[in-house]
Chains A and B, each alone.
Chain A
Amino acid sequence: MDEMLSLARNLVNVQEDERRIIARELHDRIGQSLTVLKLLLNEAMNLPSDKAGATLGEAQSLVNELMSLVRYLSLELRPKMLDDLGLLPALLYLFESYTSHTHINVRFEHYGLHRKFPPEIGIAAYRIVQEALNNVALHAGVSEVKVLAWSDRKVLFIRIEDLGKGFNLTGANNNNGLNNIQGRAMLVEGKLTVQSAPGKGTVINAELPVITRIRKETAGKSDDNRNTGR
Chain B
Amino acid sequence: MITVTLADDHHIVRHGIKALLEAEPDMRVVGEAGCGMEASQITQKMKPDVLVLDLMMPDINGLKLISQIKKRSPNTSIVVLSMYGNDCYVLEALQAGAKAYVLKDSPQDEFVRAVREAAAGHRYLAPPLSDRAIEAYLLKTEDTKLDPYDMLTFREREVLHQLIQGSTNVEISEQLCISRRTVEVHRARIMKKLGLHGRAELIHYAILRGILPEGK
A159 contacts partner chain B, Cβ-Cβ < 8 Å: yes
A112 contacts partner chain B, Cβ-Cβ < 8 Å: yes
Segment at the interface with B among A12-20, A22-30, A41-49, A80-88: A80-88
Contact with B along A95-108 (1 / 0, CB 8 A): 00000000000001
CB distance from B61 to the nearest CB of A (A): 6
Query: Which residues of the other chain, B, contact A193 by a CB distance below 8 angstroms?
Result: 154
**Contact assessment for A205 and B88 in the assembled complex, using a CB-CB cutoff below 8 Å:** no
**Contact assessment for A92 and B150 in the assembled complex, using a CB-CB cutoff below 8 Å:** no
In B69-122, which residues have CB < 8 Å from any A CB? 86, 88-89, 92
Contact with A along B46-60 (1 / 0, CB 8 A): 000000000000000
Query: Which residues of the other chain, B, contact A93 by a CB distance below 8 angstroms?
Result: 86, 88
Known: A193-B154, A207-B154, A223-B178. A84 touches B144 (CB 8 A): no
B143 contacts partner chain A, Cβ-Cβ < 8 Å: yes
A114 to B177, CA, bound (A): 36
Interface size class of B (residues with CB under 8 A): 20 to 34
**Contact assessment for A150 and B178 in the assembled complex, using a CB-CB cutoff below 8 Å:** no
Chain B interface, >50% SS class: helix
A192 to B9, CA, bound (A): 43
A-B interface contact total, Cβ < 8 Å:
59
**Contact assessment for B146 and A150 in the assembled complex, using a CB-CB cutoff below 8 Å:** yes
CB distance from A114 to the nearest CB of B (A): 8
Query: Which residues of the other chain, B, contact A223 by a CB distance below 8 angstroms?
Result: 155, 177-178, 182
Interface size class of A (residues with CB under 8 A): 20 to 34
**Contact assessment for B155 and A81 in the assembled complex, using a CB-CB cutoff below 8 Å:** no
Query: Which residues of the other chain, A, contact B167 by a CB distance below 8 angstroms?
Result: none
**Contact assessment for B88 and A92 in the assembled complex, using a CB-CB cutoff below 8 Å:** yes
**Contact assessment for B178 and A85 in the assembled complex, using a CB-CB cutoff below 8 Å:** no
Query: Which residues of the other chain, A, contact B153 by a CB distance below 8 angstroms?
Result: 155, 157, 207
CB distance from A115 to the nearest CB of B (A): 12
CB distance from A194 to the nearest CB of B (A): 12
Query: Which residues of the other chain, A, contact B211 by a CB distance below 8 angstroms?
Result: none
B151 contacts partner chain A, Cβ-Cβ < 8 Å: yes
CB distance from A96 to the nearest CB of B (A): 8
Contact of A110 among B137, B144, B178 (CB under 8 A): B144
Q: Which residue of B lies closest to A90 (CB)?
A: B88
CB distance from B64 to the nearest CB of A (A): 10
Contact with A along B136-173 (1 / 0, CB 8 A): 01001101111000110111000000000000000000
Contact of A109 among B61, B137, B146 (CB under 8 A): B146
Q: Which residue of A lies closest to B86 (CB)?
A: A93
Contact of B88 among A89, A108, A109 (CB under 8 A): A89
CB distance from A228 to the nearest CB of B (A): 6
CB distance from A9 to the nearest CB of B (A): 27
CB distance from A207 to the nearest CB of B (A): 6
**Contact assessment for A110 and B143 in the assembled complex, using a CB-CB cutoff below 8 Å:** yes
A159 to B154, CA, bound (A): 11
Q: Which residue of A lies closest to B177 (CB)?
A: A223
In B173-190, which residues have CB < 8 Å from any A CB? 177-178, 182
Query: Which residues of the other chain, B, contact A205 by a CB distance below 8 angstroms?
Result: 154
Query: Which residues of the other chain, B, contact A150 by a CB distance below 8 angstroms?
Result: 146, 151
**Contact assessment for B144 and A109 in the assembled complex, using a CB-CB cutoff below 8 Å:** yes
A127 contacts partner chain B, Cβ-Cβ < 8 Å: no
**Contact assessment for B154 and A84 in the assembled complex, using a CB-CB cutoff below 8 Å:** no
Known: A84-B63, A85-B88; 8 extra A-B contacts, CB below 8 A, are: A81-B86, A85-B63, A85-B89, A109-B150, A110-B143, A110-B146, A207-B153, A223-B177
Report which B residues bind A (CB closer than 8 A).
Answer: 61, 63, 86, 88-89, 92, 137, 140-141, 143-146, 150-151, 153-155, 177-178, 182
18 contacts between A and B (CB under 8 A): A81-B88, A81-B89, A84-B89, A85-B88, A85-B89, A89-B88, A92-B141, A109-B146, A110-B144, A110-B146, A111-B146, A112-B143, A148-B150, A191-B154, A205-B154, A223-B155, A223-B178, A223-B182
